[in-house]
Structure 1
Amino acid sequence: MWEISMEGLLSLIRKTTQSSLSYICEKTGDSLSNRMDELACFVLGMLALGSFSKFLIELAWTCYNFYQSTPTKLAGQNYYFNGGEDMNVGTSWNILRPETVASLMYLWWFTGNKTYQDWGRNIFQAFEKNCRINSGYVGLRDVKTGEKDNMMQSFFLAETL
């Protein structure tokens, strides 16, 4: 079942032409969309638990760049990869999701590679700078402008931190 699932996953992988970023297309019925939600970054942790491959490292780089590509250094909800071009923020809110951070923790744990720890620290510092308020943390309505929302999701403390 794992191998069949991985064949399906691999059929959804595309690369941008400019920076060679790997991403997972969204599939609805028979149509593919060159869009990837930040939520899909859980795949890193899943693959780290099940196997280790070059694709895993490439996808980690893409998910980390979801964060590095915005002025706030926080990822938007999803990204588009149109015509093989590099990513563009689709939905630009950030609600403090854990998927990339958790996956980076798994990668550091399995490999001992300090790079993944550094990437996690960079993301944490962006949360501290952009989302920290006196009573906790809030998400952002827009990762480009840094406009804050007024809610701390319950999963932030339990899963992201």
Structure 2
Amino acid sequence: MGDSFYEYLLKVWIQGNKTESVKHYRQMWETSMEGLISLTRQTTPSNYTYICEKSGGSLSHKMDELACFAPGMLALGASGYGPEKAKQIMNLAEELARTCYNFYQTTPTKLAGENYYFHAGQDMNVGTSWNILRPETVESLMYLWRLTGNKTYQDWGWDIFQAFEKNSRIASGYVGLRDVSS
């Protein structure tokens, strides 16, 4: 539940022009990302990459849609590494973005639930099935599109926008859904 802290470590470093006076924020971010990497797993059969939740010494194979800020954050931070590590971090960002996009694509409404569970031999299952219009996945897709130029991320963002238009649009704006599965 401290996601913004990690994102802001990186953004303070960037907004501080990556100078010596803000270098410690980058170092703190890199240390944190090693922790994040240690929590990543892959599903079978589709090889979706996800981030486990850690509570004390135990891991839960659950990922919130809220954690879909991570692909954009990783993509934004990749350029601060040397070439080999930058490629590893960007690959992880892209793998996580694919998972987050598929949070949307695996429901009848094409909108993501609040969280997903990953069980051995299965890709993902909706946990909490409401959608409260979270922007994290779309923000990550925007970063990835801008940083890679890969139009796929733009297309995925458009797919999500169309699902919101179809399922959440009302006369006065947008409304969340109680159940993305119906």
Q: Which TM-score band (shorter chain)?
A: 0.7 to 0.9
> Aligned residue for 1:11?
38
In structure 2, distance between residues paired with 1:20 and 1:48: 20
Work out the CA distance in 2 between the residues paired with 1:9 and 1:134.
41
Letter in 2 for 1:69: T
1:84 Cα offset (Å)? 4.8
Q: Which residue of 1 aligns with 2:127?
A: 90
Any gaps of 5 or more consecutive residues in structure 2?
1-27, 79-88
Q: Give per-residue Cα distances to partners, 1:39-86, cap 9 Å, x unaligned.
A: 000001111110052111111100000000000000000000012521
Asked if the contact 1:77/1:94 (under 8 Å) is kept, the reply is: yes
Structure 2 residue corresponding to 1:130, chosen from 167, 174, 180: 167
Runs of 4+ in 1 over 6 A off after TM superposition: none
Q: Which residue pairs with 1:24 in the alignment?
A: 51
| Matching of residue 64 in structure 1 with residue 101 in structure 2 | yes
Q: Which one has the largest radius of gyration?
A: 2
**Contact 1:15–1:84, Cα closer than 8 Å, also in 2:** no
Query: Using the alignment, how far apart are the partners of 2:128 and 2:57 within structure 1?
Result: 23
Alignment partners' CA distance in 1, 2:96 and 2:39: 12
2:71/2:92 contact within 8 Å kept: no
Paired AA for residue 161 in structure 2: F
Aligned residue identity for 2:94:
I
CA–CA separation in structure 1 for the residues paired with 2:157 and 2:47: 22
Letter in 2 for 1:14: R
Match of 1:33 in 2: 60
Q: Separation in 1 of the partners of 2:107 and 2:114?
A: 12
Pick the structure with more helix per residue: 2
Correspondence for 2:113 among 61, 73, 76 = 76
Count of equivalent residues: 145
Gaps (5+ residues) in structure 1?
146-161
Scaled by the length of structure 1, the TM-score of the pair is 0.87
Fraction of identical pairs, as percent:
75
